[in-house]
Amino acid sequence: MTYNVLNLTLGDTLARNPYFRTIFSSIQPDILVCQEMTSQTGVNGFLSRVLNRVSTGYAAGTFINGLDTDNAIYYKSSLFTFLSNTPINTELRDINEFRLRYNSTGDTIIIYSVHLKASSSSSDSLKRAAEVDSLRKRTNALPLNSNFIVVGDFNIYDSSELAFQKLLNQSQSGYFIDPLSLIGRWNNNGSFAPYHTQSTRVRDLFDGGATGGLDDRFDMILMSQEVMNSGGITYNPGTYNEYGNDGNHFNDSINQPPNTVVSQQVADALHYATDHLPVYATFSFDTPYLEISSLTALLEGFFNGLTMNPDTVTVELRNVFTPYSLVDQAKVYLNNNGQGTAKFYSAENGVPYYLILNHRNAIETWSASPQTFTTSTLNYDFTSGADKAYGNNLKLVGSKWCIYGGDVNNDGYVETADLNLVFNDNVNGAVGYILTDLNGDLITEIEDLNIVFINNVLGVERKTPPGF
């Protein structure tokens, strides 16, 4: 979350504490970045008298008291470890580079907090662009695929403004992406009413805040390409939110009833606490994993020669020497083309593993030979030939090789016991997602009996490396 807290001093903190506590009782971000902090005393007061009063476990990162007002960061210490605060000097105010490490994965997120030059003159616009130049010099020097975002009070009026265009310029790697892709003049434009963040009030409250109601998109969260990509630290689409803005308060106070997205108490608190709305988004921090990015397997019975009734299988990774110990496993949804993906969190690059497919009523099937992940990915297709399974243990259906069906009790054999289970359910008219439905049509019938009968006659059984 990013929040301009309006020249926060200890006195202001004491006066506005009840409003801030109301706001943070209703929403408790894992990371909070604030603009317009004026002192270490104010930082400490906000931590102890607001954040840790309504919750527990918040800590503050190192505060650097630079020119004019400054940026502060708070975080939940159970989730993150604070690494550093590096100021980027500009003509007016510092931009701060905060680095946090996510404790569960060790991933580092880099957060830049800005409060760019205010006002709408051409001179002010050029000063904002110069500040962004300083930021881009820093982000362009980051290693490729770095996870970074910029938050704060940008004071930008229009998507065509030079400062905004410099932020988005992709000629070098340190560019940012607007997850909302809002094009146009945001200032005093009702078309962008749901995205405005200043001002929360129409009239002067004599606290130095702006007036005039909500009509500017000053507060934003912009993201690097790596954060927008899937995997690692990832923005969750659709979670970007101007907290308290229901889109119905254009040029009006945020607490003018009714507010359809927060309670009246919260709307009042947003009105009196500061002249800006907080903005938040959610992000996923994935544990590092290896991925079978393309797994293809077809199930006899489920596959009609053209398409397959989708179903799930369990994919195991096992060591290549006896006793072929289980390393990891994943549940995989196979679509009507028999394709799926699997993520593994205990496997390693460069280490060979057997791939094993298990299905609720099919024969356990091993890959013909051990497979190795390279640069965290692996592809495998069981359907392209009989020799893709250990012992050539596949059945040709049309032009594709399929996993044998009929092992209803999953003991590694298609046998009389399986036939009896299917026969009884057929007689009883069993329906639904059941073990004895061997073709995925949600009913146990003669077609299912035929599959298990033929494979019983053929002596179909699991084939594995010696010693398993």
pLDDT of 144 reads 79
- Report the alpha-carbon distance of residue 205 to residue 274 in Å, rounded: 10
Q: How far apart are CA 253 and CA 299, in angstroms?
A: 61
Residue-wise pLDDT tens digits, 54-97:
998 999 999 999 988 999 999 999 999 999 999 999 999 999 99
Mean pLDDT of 142-165: 95
The CATH fold assigned to 290-457 is Immunoglobulin-like (2.60.40)
How does 316-334 read in b/e, with b if 16+ C-beta sit within 10 Å?
A: bbbeeeeebeebbbbebeb
pLDDT band at 11 (very low <50, low <70, confident <90, very high): low
**Measuring CA to CA, which residue among 42, 104, 106, 30 is closest to residue 69?**
42
Position 13 pLDDT exceeds 70: no
Q: Residue 171 CB: number of other CB atoms within 10 A?
A: 7
Write out the residue limits of the CATH 3.60.10.10 domain(s) in the chain: 2-285
Residue 270 in this model has a pLDDT that exceeds 70: yes
Can you tell me the mean pLDDT for 448-467? Answer: 96
Q: Is 388 helix (H, G, I), strand (E, B) or coil?
A: helix
Over range 411-429, report the average pLDDT: 97
Q: Checking DSSP bridges between strand 395-397 and strand 80-88, what pairing results, if any?
A: unpaired
Task: Using alpha carbons, select from 283, 280, 282, 176 the residue that is nearest to residue 233.
Answer: 283
Mean pLDDT of the region 138-148: 91
Fold adopted by 2-285: Deoxyribonuclease I; Chain A (3.60.10)
Tell me where in the chain the CATH 2.60.40.4130 domain(s) lie: 290-457
Query: Which residues, in sequence order, are CB contacts of 257 under 8 Å at separation 6+?
Result: 264, 267
- End-to-end alpha carbon distance in the chain: 53
pLDDT tops 80 at residue 104: yes
pLDDT at 465: 96
Model-level pTM? 0.66
How far apart are the C-alpha atoms of 237 and 421, rounded to whole Å?
A: 46
